Structure formats: C-alpha cells, structure tokens
Amino acid sequence: TLLDPTGGVKDIKRKLIRATSPESFSDDPVRTMRALRFEAQLNFSIEERTEELIHESARLIKLVSAERIRDELERILTRVQKPSQVFDRMHETGILEQILPELERCYGVTQPGCFHEYDVFYHSIKTVDFAPRTVVVRLAALLHDIGKPKARRLGEDGRARFYGHDVLSERMTRSILKRLRFSNKTIEDVSVLVRNHMFNYRFSDRGLRRFIRRVGYERIDRLFALRKADILSRGRAYPKMDEELVEFSNFKQRAKDIIESVPEFSIRELAINGDDIMNRFRIPEGPDVGKVLRHLFSLVIDGKIPNKEDVLLSAAEEYISKMKKERV
C-alpha cells in the first residue's frame, strides 16, 4: 500500500509543485531556487500558497552558503533547456536580487539604437538559452553584458552606447564568480570569454593568430559558441542577423584553417625551452627567461620564423643582445 499523506501522487498527475510544510523554505531556503528550476525543467506549475511562500522566503537565500547557491546555479544552467525561464522567475520572486544583484540591475536597461529587441537583462538570459549546456559557456552568456548598466551612455541621437563594457564585465564576472566560490579555472575560462566576446571579423591572418593565442586554443570553440548565442538572442530588432551569421561562419572557418596550419600554440611546444636559454646564453633563472621564450613564441605564431632549434637560438641571441643594450 502506498502511503501518501501529502497528496504527492495527485499533484504529480496535475503537474503541480507544492510545499509540504509552511516551513519548507525557511528550513532550507535553497529549495526556493530548486522549486523554480523544477517548474521550468519539468514544465510544472507552482501551487498558489507555495508561490506566496517563495516570495516571503526570498531574502532567506542570503543565509545559504555560497557553495550551495553555486551548485544550484550550475543545475539551472545545465539541466534546464531554457534557463531564462528560471532567471525571469527569480527576478519576479525577489531571489535574483539576493544572489545576483548585478544581474538584477540589468533589468529595464534598454538598448535603443543597438538593434536589440530586449533590455540587457532579457538579452542576457536569452543568450543563455542559445548557448550549449555547459557551465562555462552558459555562465559567460549570463554575464557577458553584466557591465552594461554601469557603462551605458545615451547620446544626443538617442542611441545607447556601452563603451568598454567588455572590460568592465570581465572585472565584474571575476568578482561574482569568486563570491560564489567557483573554481579558479572556471573563473579564468569564463572571464576570458566575457572579455573577448566583442571581437570583430576583420583581423589580418597575423592578428587572428594573436587573437587565438590570447583567448587560448582550448577556449576558442567556446568563445565562438558564445558569440553565436549572442547574435541569435538579439531578436527581431536585428535586421542584419542572417548577414552576420554568414560573416561569423566565414570567420570561424578562417580561424579553424589557421589553427590547423600553425599547430605551435603552446610555448611548451617550442623546439627549445628555458634550460636551453639559460645554458646557451648563461642567463640566470628568472623573468628574463620567460620574456625570451614569449618573444620567440610570438615570432613563431606570427609565421616570422619556423619552430626549429637553430633558428630559435639565433633569434634568442639577437633578442637578448637587444635587451642588454636597452639596459645600458
């Protein structure tokens, strides 16, 4: 015999989420986030009194450890097809203000003249929907424009401009993710994507090599996924969407061709290493060794010299001689 004192089976059949006790959310405030996630993930509805309890308990989420909030955010980003539904509901219930006040401040920040259908808040959360279901890319999608409210300037022509918002967004992203106790690697990966999401398509081959090196070979595909999601989330107000998607696709192919033609994307793959520099030129261990290796790496990346030991040593000798002259 199935014992069901709270009527759970009936609620499941009705696709209804109901708190089993008036203290459900005060006992564990993270359940407020979980209820909203289940609402979107399972396509259920929240029972009326339970909805009221979520509103009443929203402020209590600040009592929860950052690690538990982080874990629930990760579930929202990876288990829900359209996380925008959850973030919108967190805005409605007051939870978002408690856990991500920076994102809450994006609400109502319009983007006139920027070919965006939505304000910064809705554009950001819809970008998440178009991004692949990975923590890094979806976090970057959520936070890529987080600095826009602070950077926003309205011109005499009525157009909003957000100069430098990519740099500001990166700084804010690092602060937010550190506060939420994400790993150092996740913080670095997400922040690099946020910082570089505004790239243009007019790089020379040399410039594109430098761009790929700056982003990191291991991150470039994730950056492209973020950029595509950013384009698609502009909505119907963006008349050149199809045109940009073609331009983006061509740029992505150029990057792929360059990566395949120039495999030396790591200093570790140079034909010489720090020991070779120190032994050959009698340089003590220290920052100068790294400086020389980075210079050689740039030369190889830019296609100026091949990755061959004798050529690299010759270029190192020339660069070290220049360094010494500059210090005299």
Q: Residues 196-243: pLDDT tens digits? A: 999 999 999 888 988 988 898 889 999 999 999 999 999 887 888 999
Q: Where are the domains of the chain?
A: 12-99, 101-262, 267-327
Least confident interval from 9-23, 46-60, 111-125 = 111-125
pLDDT tens, 128-150?
999 999 999 999 999 999 999 99
DSSP-based three-state secondary structure for 28: coil
pLDDT tens, 49-77?
999 999 999 999 999 999 999 999 999 99
CA-to-CA distance for 55 and 57, rounded, in angstroms?
5
- Give the residue from 300, 136, 144, 164 showing the smallest Cα distance to 220: 136
Place of tokens 């010489």: 272
Rounded to the nearest 10°, the torsion over CA 219, 223, 226, 228 is: -130
On the 0-12 / 13-18 / 19+ scale of CB atoms within 10 A, 242 is exposed
DSSP-based three-state secondary structure for 46: strand
- The model carries a pTM of 0.82
pLDDT score of 8: 94
pLDDT score of 246: 96
Is pLDDT of 319 > 60? Answer: yes
Is pLDDT of 273 > 80? Answer: yes
Q: 101-262 has which CATH code?
A: 1.10.3210
CATH 3.20.20.70 for the 12-99 domain, yes or no:
no
pLDDT score of 73: 98
Please list, in sequence order, all residues whose beta carbon lies within 8 angstroms of the beta carbon of residue 299, skipping any fewer than 6 positions away.
Answer: 305, 315
Residue 160's H or E segment, with its range, is: strand 160-161
Phi-psi region of 175 (alpha: psi -120 to 50; beta: other; left: phi over 0): alpha
pLDDT score of 268: 80
- Give mean pLDDT, residues 165-169: 96
CB atoms within 10 A of CB 37: 21
Please check whether residue 296 is in contact with residue 312, taking contact to mean a CB–CB distance below 8 angstroms.
Answer: yes
What average pLDDT does the structure give for the chain? Answer: 93
Looking from the CA of 195 toward its CB, the CA atoms found within 13 Å total 17
